Structure 1
Amino acid sequence: MQFLSVCAESAGQRLDNYLIRELKGVPKSHIQRIIRSGEVRLNKKRCKGTDRIAANDQIRLPPIRVASSHTSEPTLAIPAQEFAIVYEDDVLLVINKPSGIAVHGGSGISFGVIEQLRRARPKARYLELVHRLDKDTSGLLMIAKKRSALVKLHESIRQNHPHKVYLALAVGIWPEKVRQVKCPLLKYTGAQGEKMVRIASNPQEGQRAHTQFRVLQHYAGDRLHAVGIKALTLMEATLKTGRTHQIRVHMQSQLCPIAGDERYGDYQINRRLHKIGLKRMFLHAAELTLAHPVSGDILQLTAPLPDELQQFLHHLSVVSGQSSQQS
């Protein structure tokens, strides 16, 4: 048997989430099983994974084998990785996440940003994602360095307080009259088992979702026409709610999917865009305004458009006289 004593920083977490973090290398399914079977005791009593733990709680665990050296699948080592820091203090870290890197492991992905950061900072007692970005989305990502900060930021997110602005490139001409989309969203599983989102046909079934849009620039010209694309529109998308794939599905609903979006975009158009230099989805978390979780001071953070997206736009022809739209 082994015993864990809960520190004040971990107080308030669900028991199962706490054990998943503490017992690195132990499958989540195994942790859930030993809790259900009664082999885990919280202060000498049977417990549930959903129970909240408090400072100085005592957790009794059965003998656990962390990993087998005889597995046929070699375990991939998690590489230590730091990322471009936009803001950091004792309780909060904000990085500029590159495209192509998941924020965490799971669903066939061995590791993500948070696992790499933990490996790069072995002395850090606490590093947890405050929110998520899609794997192919770049930009501002918040990580809490103390649980108290995480709780405060999650409370703020529930009240839709952090002001998040994204830059997205739409295929086609964005409808001039569409300044906001409020279509509710419904999650479902795709044909390959992937997580998908669509506009809910019955508003009562979907989650409320609201995105504000503003046109920044129209692009056309010979370079696009040569691959059969009439126009692209650079958009500013401001989240009023934070649902999974919200911007991607709301733009798709206006028949202007995000350029390079392999899940909700147009496959043939994406192939053509790839030929003229767009190698990724054009979605970037560019601005973040929030109250600091401890001081309450307003933080206004920005991440410039990545070089590869800047270069792609640089080689397109701007349509004059259509560079802005007031929201």
Structure 2
Amino acid sequence: MTDSLRPTIKIGISSCLLGNPVRFNGGHKASRLCSETLAHHFEFVPVCPEVAIGLGTPREPIRLVGDPDSPRAVGTKHPELDVTEALTAYGKRIAAGLTDVSGYILMQKSPSCGMERVKVYQANGHPVEGGGSGLFAHALMQARPDLPIEEDGRLNDPVLRENFLTRIFAYAEWQRLLEAGLTRKRLVEFHSRYKYQLMATDPLQYKALGQRVATVGNTPLEAFAPAYFSQLMSALKTTASRGTHSNVLQHLSGYLKRDLEREDKQELQRLIAQYREGIVPLVVPLTLLKHHFRRHPDRYIANQAYMQPHPENLSLRNGI
């Protein structure tokens, strides 16, 4: 599907990342990646849990205290201000209400929105090592385990960014499949599209999911499909390595072995080797592969999500 024909995809996001002045000090934490790059490809649904539960702007800051596995969210100056239940309840409400989003970007280190490593203070005034999760984020992740969720800071890593956005587009495609009406045939076709993407991210789950799909006729679809999709999304969360990407590139090149001249084969193998060694980014051998497949079309390969799992002008594979 060309980029211009891709349906609009909604993503939930911490409101402060879009430049909205909702932080405790009346400021924001605007992310250029979100507001200047990703905004061209997604429709953002901004959410600020603190404002939503009635805390003003500006306001007294809150922090996490107590057990890092089950912390309380209290005021830094007035500990009697306890918004633990309110933040948790709002996270559950958003998880249940935003059923049309295909991903979520959270503000890092926030006592409400941080996914991990959020400071959790002890009675001695010092934070515990390792930290915990923000209460809104924890409730959201617990309620929507398949939903692609990431922190803004981690998206500065090109590998994590490419992985996160790949998962968003896979999730959105599954949502469209459910809306259109899921059948066993459509599920098998969907899985077929993601075979090489799975091979790149998690070769073991690539095999396990293939075996699972082979039994799709043995279980009622309404029970089979959610379990399959959960396993798929968990597998796609694994970040691909240069080694696994190279393995996929070699598999793809095998479809061209009868079509390419010796010099073309040698050039392709040289670029795959250079990618594996870290000399060139993934986009280099992949671009050459696409060039050869344009000259020698293969319907199966053309349908593979791996060939273009996200809009080309995001340039996500230029940095990995």
Taking structure 1 as the reference length, the TM-score comes to 0.23
Judging by fraction of residues, say which structure has more strand.
Answer: 1
Taking structure 2 as the reference length, the TM-score comes to 0.23
